[in-house]
């Protein structure tokens, strides 16, 4: 298949907005890196109002972050490749506490450059006991993907990502799956993806507040259309690409740092509802078969 010539750099503003939201959580280094982020927030999110929907968003992204860590711990993989990591410092945090880990943290060049500046400013580079590499990578470049994965030793590899697949159409998803499948067949290990998003119903879409700039961004990148039709459809897709669903992360919402803020302003009807909130996303551990 020919290499994609699509310009993925237009996705980068979402990484900034995500970091600013994570700055309200206990995710490692999120507060510190969010404080260093320069320039305006392009989506017009309600950071000043901090209403119910604001904290719901923050809760979602905090839960998504920890869901990857939960499954990572269950793999016991010491080689970890993160795709499109944005401004997350998951890899550096793991390498600071574990000298047996080799973590390669990747994203597009401009994001990596900004992240490196943040790491330098916070003087974190020398704290890593494990092997931490921060490298530019377009995950859709199959040759670059293979070259990056070849930096690991022969032990099993965990490939992780959050916030990538919803930017890819079906053919692009298949292209990425091909690279990941080939790599895991060679190294062994697992793919942990937090990007199993299903399409919202019309009612859910109408209920969710969204700024004009955010709505434009979603339309520009066809985010809703790129989501899976259902969880069975997602599992069928991955099966067609040669993957087996091994495990799904379970979220301990009570343990999230954002919950006290959310509970303070939760509407009474939501607090007293017997219905669980709609499930719009799952984090899966997949194995290449």
In a domain, 83, yes or no: yes
In a domain, 13, yes or no: no
Q: Of 74, 108, 75, 78, which Cα lies nearest the Cα of 91? A: 78
CA-based nearest residue to 148, from 80, 204, 205: 80
In a domain, 11, yes or no: no
In angstroms, rounded to a whole number, what is the distance separating the alpha carbons of residues 115 and 122? 11
* Domain membership flag for residue 1: no
Does residue 121 lie in a domain region?
yes
Domain total in the chain: 1
Query: If we measure between CA atoms, which residue out of 142, 30, 35 comes closest to residue 85?
Result: 30
Residues 177-186: tens digit of each pLDDT? 999 999 999 9
pTM for the model stands at 0.89
User: CATH number for the domain including 111?
Assistant: 3.40.50.150
Domain presence at residue 15: no
CA distance 232 to 65: 23
Q: Which of 155, 191, 160, 21 is nearest to 90 (CA)?
A: 160
Q: Retrieve residue 8's tokens.
A: 């993925």
Does 246 map to a domain?
yes
What mean pLDDT do residues 260-274 have? 85
Residue for token digits 């390498």? 95
Q: Is 19 among the domain residues?
A: no
Its domain, for residue 61, covers 24-288
Checking if the pLDDT of 249 tops 60, the result is yes
- Mean residue pLDDT across the chain: 88
Q: Are 49 and 70 in contact (CB under 8 A)?
A: no
Torsion of CA 208, 211, 217, 219, to 10 degrees: 50
């Amino acid at each position: 298949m020919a290499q994609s010539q699509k310009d993925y750099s237009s996705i980068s503003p979402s990484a900034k907005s995500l970091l600013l939201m994570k700055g309200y959580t206990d995710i490692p280094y999120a507060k510190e890196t969010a404080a260093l982020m320069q320039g305006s927030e392009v989506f017009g999110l309600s950071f000043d109002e901090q209403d119910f929907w604001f904290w719901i968003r923050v809760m979602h992204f905090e839960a998504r972050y920890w869901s990857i860590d939960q499954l990572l711990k269950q793999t016991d993989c010491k080689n970890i490749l993160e795709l499109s990591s944005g401004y997350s410092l998951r890899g550096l945090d793991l390498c600071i506490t574990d000298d047996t880990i080799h973590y390669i943290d990747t994203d597009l060049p401009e994001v990596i450059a900004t992240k490196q500046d943040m790491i330098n400013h916070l003087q974190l580079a020398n704290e890593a006991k494990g092997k931490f590499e921060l490298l530019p990578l377009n995950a859709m470049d199959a040759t670059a993907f293979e070259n990056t994965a070849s930096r690991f030793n022969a032990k099993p590899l965990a490939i992780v990502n959050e916030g990538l697949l919803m930017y890819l159409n079906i053919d692009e998803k298949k292209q990425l799956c091909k690279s990941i499948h080939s790599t895991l067949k060679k190294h062994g290990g697992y793919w942990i993806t937090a990007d199993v998003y299903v399409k919202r119903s019309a009612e859910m879409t109408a209920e969710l507040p969204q700024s004009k700039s955010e709505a434009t961004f979603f339309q520009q990148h066809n985010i809703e259309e790129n989501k899976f039709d259902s969880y069975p459809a997602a599992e069928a897709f991955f099966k067609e690409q040669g993957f087996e669903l091994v495990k799904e992360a379970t979220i301990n919402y009570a343990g999230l740092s954002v919950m006290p803020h959310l509970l303070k302003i939760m509407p009474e009807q939501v607090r007293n509802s017997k219905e669980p909130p709609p499930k719009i996303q799952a984090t899966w551990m997949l194995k290449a078969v």
